[in-house]
Amino acid sequence: MNRRRFLQALGVSAASLPFFSLLESSAVEAATPRPMRLLCLLAGYGGSWAHLRPPGISRTTPELALTKELLTFDQSVLEPLKAYAAKMLLIEGIAQKGALQNGTLYSDHFAYASTAFTGSLAQRGSPWLPRSASIEQVLGERLGAGTPVRSLQVGIGSNPGLSDQVTLSYNASGQQLPAIRDPAQLYRQLFGNSGGTVVSSPTPNTALVAKQRRDLSIANALNKSAKRLNARLARAEQRKLDDHLAALADIEARLQGGASNEPNLYPPITCDSPTPPAAAFLQDVPTITNLQFDIITQAFACDRTRFIVADWGINADPRPDVLPDITDLHNDVAHAIDSSDPAVSAKAHADMAKLQRWQAQQLAKLLDRFAQTPDGDGTLLDNTLVVWTSDFGVTTHSGLNVPHVLLGGAQNKFRMGRYLNVAPQAPASWYNDAIPFMPANNSLLVSICRAFGLDVSTFGEPEWSGPLAGLV
């Protein structure tokens, strides 16, 4: 990996913009030099609460401080992350209510995928679709100015045609947005053909200004062309061009110095080109995880993007690295979890925990990378929020008690370092009767938006509103 030099670009118009708040009520702290980043990871097929929840926690424990010792127990899923106990929030009691069907929260992977980061009601169909945008889209739109890629969906090793490859990213009309699964492609999207960003140092200002002027001329012509074409189209067809037109308008506005509505509040960063990734087989989960995590780290560090959702494949085909005797994870493990035979179920829980533990190991490495990456006055870890979750909860295909593990410094917007039960009143069974006592994942999404400085009280379906109590 190249040693990165972080330079302040001098004399570029964005740096001379006045600092002003884009937020209605919450003020951006002028002392925060770096933007907060979000990485949401959904690794399918649920998991084992018994191996996630530290021992000594009863059904009604509302919260408990997490320590390295507490996370160290036999087959503990979170043990590999114990060094980050103080930057971890293990949340129990959330229900993916968007997938409710007739009062039952028992649904399929794609229904949960369409609601996990949108908080929308999942519309039954082929595919299941939400009615509103996913959180990285929303944050990207509001806070992504100045980055080449406002937000992104990344695929990490999931298997096409199997239910661990799901769409998590949706635009405001509830349409699926594509995921980038190939590290080489992700690299190119984020770091471009030339591999670099704006300038390499030292560069005379005149060249930069000339390039900007030329780019503006080009952007202006493109906008005219787009509007002309758009005018020839029927209403329904025009919708197809919405993202394109918005992006062109965005580019032009950025080149004009981000004049009216969309300043980049943060001084731009320039990076040396990171090393392009080696070719890899896309369903080789360990390798792809490593490659994608590396690119994500560099992309965050170089401010190429700030908001990412990712589906993290556990790969329903054999995982000899973690589970050497299992040929069919989907059936042999995930569906064996709710077997009526206790021995079968126990083994499946243990196997799933092994898999989650492997994931925790990868996340620990990712957090290590973040912690070693300088970012403004602190590190990338300080300025990032990672949300690690799944589609299933208490048992396979159930949307009740879907685990959410928050990681990172998140600019101290949340009180990390705890186990938090947000549904201590829920009946022990975690069945449909528990639903009224459980907050929806919408509340977490609202809280995340607020942490990022967006003053919202709903996210997705307005029926479930308000932030998640106990986070701050």
Partner 1 sequence: MRPVLTIALMIAAAGCDGTFDMPKGGAAFPGLEGSTTHRDAALTECVARSPSTVLPTRVRRLSQSEYQRSVEHLLGGPVDTGIVFPPNQIVDGYDNDVDVNRVTGLLTSTLFDGVGALAQRAASSVACADDACARAALDAFAARAYRRPLSDEERSDLSQVYDDARTDADPRDALAAAYSVVLQSPEFLYVTELGEDATSAAPGSVVVLTAHEIAAELSYLFTGAPADAALRRAADTGAILDPDERERQALRLIQTDAARAMFGKFAAEWAEVASVEDKTKDATAFPEWSQLKAAIAEETRSFVSAVILSGTPRDLFTADWTVAPDSVVTAFGLGPKGADGRSALPPGMRAGILTQRSVLAAHAGVVDDSPIKRGHFVRSRLLCQPISPPAPTLQITETPTDPTLTVRERVTRHTSGAACQGCHSQMNPIGFGFSGFDAIGQQRATDRGKPVDATGKLEHTDVDADFDGLEALGALLAESEQARACFAEQWFRFAHGTALTTESERYGFAESTKEFTRGEQPILAMILSLVRSDMFTTRCKTE
Report the C-alpha gap between 135 and 404 in whole angstroms. 15
CB of 71 to partner 1, least distance (A): 31
Report the C-alpha gap between 164 and 288 in whole angstroms. 15
CB of 279 to partner 1, least distance (A): 14
CB of 84 to partner 1, least distance (A): 31
Half-sphere exposure of 142 (CA within 13 A, CB side): 19
Of residues 56 and 204, the one with the C-beta less far from partner 1: 204
Of residues 355 and 360, the one with the C-beta less far from partner 1: 355
Burial of 372 (0-12, 13-18, 19+ CB in 10 A): exposed
Peptide bond into 127 cis (omega under 30): yes
**Residue 63 near residue 418, CB atoms below 8 Å:** yes
CB of 49 to partner 1, least distance (A): 19
Q: Looking at residue 330, what DSSP letter applies?
A: I
Q: Is the dihedral of CA 373, 362, 156, 404 positive or negative?
A: negative
Of residues 11 and 320, the one with the C-beta less far from partner 1: 320
Of residues 262 and 368, the one with the C-beta less far from partner 1: 262
Of residues 79 and 351, the one with the C-beta less far from partner 1: 351
Of residues 286 and 318, the one with the C-beta less far from partner 1: 318
Of residues 17 and 226, the one with the C-beta less far from partner 1: 226
Q: Looking at residue 404, what DSSP letter applies?
A: E
Report the C-alpha gap between 142 and 153 in whole angstroms. 17
CB of 101 to partner 1, least distance (A): 6
CB of 255 to partner 1, least distance (A): 10
CB of 209 to partner 1, least distance (A): 10
- Give, in degrees to the nearest 5, the angle at Cα 362 between 358 and 364: 110
Of residues 98 and 467, the one with the C-beta less far from partner 1: 98
CB of 94 to partner 1, least distance (A): 19
Tokens linked to 350: 């243990």
26-35: long-range pairs with CB below 8 Å, 24+? 26/450, 26/453, 26/454, 26/455, 28/265, 28/453, 32/376, 32/411, 33/266, 33/267, 33/376, 33/377, 34/266, 34/375, 34/376, 34/377, 34/378, 34/383, 35/143, 35/265, 35/266, 35/303, 35/306, 35/383
CB of 204 to partner 1, least distance (A): 13
What are the respective helix, strand and coil percentages of the chain, to the nearest 5?
35, 15, 50
Tokens linked to 288: 């792809």
**Residue 393 near residue 44, CB atoms below 8 Å:** no
**Residue 311 near residue 234, CB atoms below 8 Å:** no
CB of 332 to partner 1, least distance (A): 5
CB of 151 to partner 1, least distance (A): 9
Of residues 57 and 249, the one with the C-beta less far from partner 1: 249
What are the φ/ψ torsions at residue 376 (nearest 5 degrees)? 60, -130
State the helix-helix crossing angle for 242-255 and 205-231, rounded to 10 degrees.
Answer: 150
What are the residues whose beta carbons fall under 8 Å from the beta carbon of 100, sequence distance 6 or more? Answer: 121, 399, 435
Of residues 120 and 373, the one with the C-beta less far from partner 1: 120
